[in-house]
Amino acid sequence: MLKQAFAPLVDLIYPPRCPLCGEAIAAQKGLCSTCWSTLEIPGTAAEDGITAATLYNDTARQLVLRFKHGRKIALAEMMARQIAARLPDLDGDWLVVPVPLHRTRLWQRGYNQSALIARELAGLRGKVLLVDALVRTRRTPSLGGLGRAERAKVLAGAIAANPARCERLKGAQVLLVDDVLTSGATTNACKAALRAAGAGQVHVACFSRVLEDKEA
């Protein structure tokens, strides 16, 4: 409510602009109509236990890069709303768990972009956020240019359930959240760690999905 109350003042001081092209827009939460029209939406809302809000084209790539590396963290709300609109019904109790960053990368970036989306998504769907359910046990190199088997090898053992959260994860239904899904190696490593901790159903939610094996 406080955020909504101050929104007009924020808009007065910082007139809303499209985060991609800079065109004036009505509110701080979205894109201009031209940029919206260039986003590609998957034909089905969810398949193979994965929900993606968009397909990874140039517009989605620019949004992700500005969010992940350009500190445009306000984009988390818009991304979460796009994901939430396509999620299937999540009946019962679900835990919302972000893909983790290694602590050194978290210190360098200052935030985990997947955790910011997960926080917004948990609020939109009325689910419980468990931000530290998973941990990166070691820092992994960039996966760009690697094939599926190589990516899986790099990530083997690099992601584990947080020992302090294993009891909470037992039997839980988990919504695993990431910004971009590329080959699936990272989310597969996360799912393996969750299942090793005793989690039940795991559904993956991401803002954008790469259909071809390209590095995000």
Residue 56's CATH number: 3.40.50.2020
* Domain housing 159: 48-209
30 and 52, same domain (yes or no): no
Dihedral of CA 169/174/177/181: which sign? positive
| 59 occurs within a structural domain | yes
The rounded mean pLDDT for the chain is 88
Same domain, 160 and 65: yes
**CA angle in degrees (0–180, nearest 5) for 65-146-117:** 30
Q: Are residues 15 and 65 in the same domain?
A: no
Domain match, 30 and 54 both: no
In this structure, are 108 and 198 located in the same domain? yes
Q: Are 60 and 207 in contact (CB under 8 A)?
A: yes
pLDDT 10s digits, 118-129 = 999 999 999 999
- Overall pTM surpassing 0.85 (yes/no): yes
- Give the C-alpha separation, 156 to 146, whole Å: 14
Ranges 13-17, 123-127, 129-133: which has the least confidence: 13-17
More confident site: 189 or 12: 189
- The pLDDT tens digits of the residues spanning 20-41 come to 998 888 766 789 999 999 999 9
Instruction: Note whether 99 and 163 are same-domain residues.
Output: yes
Residue 8 is predicted with a pLDDT of 45
Asked if the structure places residue 21 within a domain, the reply is yes
**Does residue 42 form part of some domain?**
no
Residue 23 lies in a domain: yes
For residue 2, the model assigns a pLDDT of 43
Domain check: are 69 and 169 in the same one? Answer: yes
Residue 26 domain-assigned (yes or no): yes
What is the pLDDT, as a whole number, of residue 9?
44
The answer to whether position 166 is within a domain reads yes
Has residue 105 been placed in a domain?
Answer: yes
For residues 16 and 106, state if they share a domain: no
Query: Rounded mean pLDDT of 164-193?
Result: 96
Question: Quick one: 15 and 114 in the same domain?
Answer: no
Total domains present in the chain: 2
Percentage with pLDDT > 90 across the chain? 67
Q: 186 and 90 share a domain?
A: yes
Residue 43 domain-assigned (yes or no): no
**pLDDT value, residue 106:** 92
Three-state secondary structure call for residue 186: helix
Residue with the bigger pLDDT between 147 and 161: it is 161
Q: Which helix (H) or strand (E) holds 180?
A: strand 173-181
128 CB neighbour count, 10 Å cutoff: 13
Do 21 and 67 belong together in one domain?
A: no
d(CA 130, CA 35): 33
Same domain, 21 and 56: no
pLDDT tens by residue, 107-116: 999 999 999 9
Nearest-10 crossing angle of helices 75-84, 58-68: 130
Longest dimension (CA), the chain: 52
Residue pLDDT, tens place only, 46-56? 778 999 999 99
